[in-house]
Amino acid sequence: MIRPGNPMSAHGQPRPDVDDALRMPSAAERARTLVEGNPSAVLVIPGLDAGPPGQMVPEMRSVGPGGDVFLLFPADSPAVRAATHAEADELAAVLEITDVAPVSVPHRIRGRAWIAGWLTPVRDEPVVPGTALLRLEVGEASVDDLWGAEQVEPDDFATATADPLAAHEADLLQHLAAAHEDQVGWLCGLVGGYGGRDGECGGECDGARTAVPVALDRFGLRVRFTGAGGTFDARFDFPEPLRGHEELHRAMHTLFDAARGCADDLHGA
């Protein structure tokens, strides 16, 4: 579990201590999750006057078996025109991805990723009329998120898989925040104790706090606590990594039961 007092990133995000980051997705998995998930993305082509930023936002994106990133644009977009005119040459491009928490919390930007490489048009795949498909061959990638800043090798990016909860994460976090606010708040009693020495409950919840679930993946839940003493993140590992969102209900009940037990102990119930 990540405990209070974590170092902060350049953009104000709590970061894990090295010793606490043993159960976590790899940098390549995190990058794939951002590319294939819901975060906003914009394609940047150096030297191209693309006009309004919205013209460089792909309508769809996916990753092929070899690790290439496929981007769907309107056929008349600046990106398609640039890739078509430069077909005989290498056209450098960067896909910039920004991940914003789907719940209201301090420091709402959870992470960013950059996928850099070479852009070419794809002519042998059927697409919706009026659109065009572009291929971004990955040359280098990096991710800077709640786990830290890391480089990603193209081969690692190609073989990684997106987190199995990613497609449902926004709905699940919003549900936890809206329908299980009290139970999420109980988790503060586990900070410093859950999975810790002798299984003791923590004592980090003195004073009024808000508790908002800020991130969810197959390994666990991250909650952002805010109170008079400031803001910190705590990470709550699931007993086992989840294979899909269908397994989340039981994993959350395990956390909530442990947290309720701590609350009862601390209040002498």
pLDDT tens digits along 23-73: 899 999 999 999 999 889 999 999 998 777 789 999 999 999 999 999 999
**pLDDT at residue 23, rounded to an integer:** 80
Any idea which fold 167-266 has? Split barrel-like (3.20.180)
Pick 95 or 12 by higher pLDDT. 95
- Region of 36 please: left (phi>0), alpha (psi -120 to 50) or beta: alpha
- Which part of the chain is CATH 2.30.110.10? 27-161
Closest CA to 103 of 224, 228, 246: 224
Pick 204 or 241 by higher pLDDT. 241
| Tokens linked to 158 | 């190609």
| Tokens linked to 134 | 């572009």
Is the per-residue pLDDT at 209 higher than 50? yes
Pick 193 or 206 by higher pLDDT. 206
Is the per-residue pLDDT at 266 higher than 70? no
Give percent above pLDDT 90 in the chain: 66
Confidence of residue 4 (pLDDT cuts 50, 70, 90): very low
Is the per-residue pLDDT at 129 higher than 60? yes
**pLDDT at residue 2, rounded to an integer:** 40
Domain 27-161 has CATH 2.30.110.10: yes
Confidence of residue 113 (pLDDT cuts 50, 70, 90): very high
Pick 268 or 177 by higher pLDDT. 177
- Which part of the chain is CATH 3.20.180.10? 167-266
Mean pLDDT of 106-126: 93
pTM above 0.95, yes or no: no
The enclosing H or E element of 249 equals helix 248-266
Mean pLDDT of 101-106: 94
Tokens 């290439």, residue?
68
Looking only at the bridges linking them, the beta strands covering 209-217 and 131-145 are unpaired
Confidence of residue 194 (pLDDT cuts 50, 70, 90): very low
